Structure 1
Amino acid sequence: MKVLGKTTWAIPGGHIPLHSTGHEPEFTSRDELCLLNTSDQEANIEITIFYVDREPVGPYRLKVQARRVRHIRFNDLINPEAILLDTDYASVIESDVPIVVQFSRLDSSRAENSSLITMAFPGS
């Protein structure tokens, strides 16, 4: 299979609402990544988080097996520190092999849930 993707991706519009409505964990407000690795090698991923008024945090390290997809909630990234809730942030995702990155958000802070899905911005 052809290897798809890029090694650097950016998501400038992160924001995880502080409150959620509905049953947890399926209706917990969240930002989420979908990472697709079509290569024959395991992908080593590093995520750096950028804030408006703080120094960047990271790297958050994870792996995506060869020829696999992996979903990651930003809410679950806790090492080196948890992502701040109800705070604007951006992220840069770097991989040692090309990957494809999709970003989604579930905002359940009100009874009228909203969701957003978009491709991340591909760098190199």
Structure 2
Amino acid sequence: MKNRQYGKKNWAFAGGIIPVNSTGEEPEYVSKDVLSILNTSPTEATVNITFYYTDSDPVGVYEIKVQPQRIRMFNINDLIDPQAVPLGVPYGGVLESDVPVVVQLTRQHTGQEALALMGISVYQADGAN
């Protein structure tokens, strides 16, 4: 199979919010936002994330490594350095990668007994790659 690189180096999303309440058992059914990053290149990707809020300064940089030709999925709830992403607070994010990657944001909301799961659009922010 020919090695093809897919994706962009810069991504942004505006619709983040990690619900405060969860009704399910932990850790499987806790409310969370999940970022998935696909790296199809033969080189490890270093992805830097900065979060933006409605009433406070941006926070970052959170550095995520994605191995070559792999996918990495992680809960935004688990990002704590340089500071934890607050629950119940609307946020957006900008991701900057040193190699092209594909990004998806998914929300699992278990604040009610019925589980809600949805994908959120992520904007391909650079036009050149």
TM bin, normalised by shorter chain, reads over 0.9
The residue type equivalent to 2:6 in the other structure is L
Query: TM-score of the superposition, structure 2-length normalised?
Result: 0.94
Give the whole-Å Cα distance in 2 for the aligned partners of 1:9 and 1:90: 11
For residue 83 of structure 2, what is the aligned residue in structure 1?
81
The residue type equivalent to 2:79 in the other structure is L
After alignment, is 96-105 or 113-122 more displaced?
Answer: 113-122
Is 1:41–1:65's contact at 8 Å kept on the other side of the alignment?
Answer: yes
The residue type equivalent to 2:5 in the other structure is V
Give the whole-Å Cα distance in 1 for the aligned partners of 2:53 and 2:91: 5
Task: Give the alignment partner of residue 10 of structure 2, picking from 8, 11, 14.
Answer: 8
Flag structure 1 segments of 5+ consecutive residues without an equivalent.
Answer: none
Task: Give the alignment partner of residue 112 of structure 1, picking from 111, 114, 123.
Answer: 114
Is 2:24–2:30's contact at 8 Å kept on the other side of the alignment?
Answer: yes
Give the whole-Å Cα distance in 2 for the aligned partners of 1:119 and 1:9: 10
Fraction of identical pairs, as percent:
44
For residue 73 of structure 2, what is the aligned residue in structure 1?
71
For residue 39 of structure 1, what is the aligned residue in structure 2?
41
Cα deviation, 1:1-38, whole Å, max 9, x if unaligned, reads 21000001111000001110111101010001110000
Flag structure 2 segments of 5+ consecutive residues without an equivalent.
Answer: none
SS for the counterpart of 1:23 is coil
Is 1:101–1:119's contact at 8 Å kept on the other side of the alignment?
Answer: no
- Matched length: 124
